Amino acid sequence: MDPKVKRVVRESFGKILDSLGVKGSILIYDSKLKTYYSNDFKWAKTAKLPASTFKIPNSIIALETKIIESDTTVIKWNGEKRALPVWEQDLTFKKAIQVSCVPCYQEIARKIGTKRMKEYLAKLDYPGMDVDSVNIDYFWLRGKSAISQLQQVDFLYRLYNLQLPVSAHTSSVMKTILEIEKTDTYTLSGKTGYGVDGGRVGWFVGYVQKGDTVYYFATNIAPGKDFDDKKFFEARIVATKKALRGMGVID
């Protein structure tokens, strides 16, 4: 990404977070204007545990190593009890990322293995991951792995603009499985993340295609004083959409 970008502080983003009872940063990058917008660039530069946003590079590596063939590849349920009922079934690859099936992606990570995981993370220039043979199936969920909002946006930019050293097939499948919402005027794609190791962290990262412009975003939040689990889960997406709506990106 061009390093000669502008940074504009949007106090309105901070007010959105305040209204939802959370603290953190909303970061949006306008690729046409080459401008970053955020309420807190210091927060946006601070690396945090990636949690389930790591399912994006994990998916890319799964496709590149042929562990997963396409968005319709079925990941079988082994019959064991899982944290969420929606995970207790056979899931297509697309559905697995949509419902953020942790056991599915832990299985994928184990199949990739430590050596290949490290090699591909270096190849993809996905920073800050602390991977070894012991933590191969949970290093993104707890431990020392960390990535910043700015780094998340940079990675998404390179993914969308075909600047990653991956096949056209992988890029195509990724755009398919990340799509969340499509209207007549825009397409919203992304992935949430939620971590509890070292303090609760909430993520929503992705991009919006609108006309000939793509807006990239990475929202990272932590609980405010009046912590509410359900509202915290909702706040990641609600805050991001409010910010995008305020900029006229989405309806």
pLDDT of residue 161: 98
- Please say if 52 is a catalytic residue: yes
Instruction: List, in sequence order, the alpha helices (H) in 125-216.
Output: 149-160, 168-178
Superfamily of domain 6-246: DD-peptidase/beta-lactamase superfamily (3.40.710.10)
Catalytic residue among 52, 100, 148, 189: 52
Q: Cα separation of 155 and 147, whole Å? A: 10
Domain locations in the chain?
A: 6-246
Q: Cα separation of 24 and 7, whole Å? A: 17
Q: What is the pLDDT of residues 158-176, one digit of tens each?
A: 999 999 999 999 999 999 9
Q: In whole angstroms, how far apart are CA 143 and each of 82, 100, 150, 218? A: 22, 19, 21, 21
Token look-up 């504009």 returns: 8
Closest to 193 in 3D by CA, of 96, 97, 52: 52
Q: What is the pLDDT of residues 93-127, one digit of tens each?
A: 999 999 999 999 999 999 999 999 999 999 999 99
pLDDT of residue 117: 98
* Regions in the chain scoring below 50 on pLDDT: none
Over its C-alpha atoms, the chain yields an Rg (Å, rounded) of 17
pTM summary value: 0.96
- Give the pairing of strands 201-210 and 187-195: antiparallel
3-state secondary structure of 193: strand
Burial class (CB in 10 A: 0-12, 13-18, 19+), 46: middle
pLDDT of residue 3: 63
Closest to 204 in 3D by CA, of 247, 159, 240: 240
pLDDT of residue 93: 98
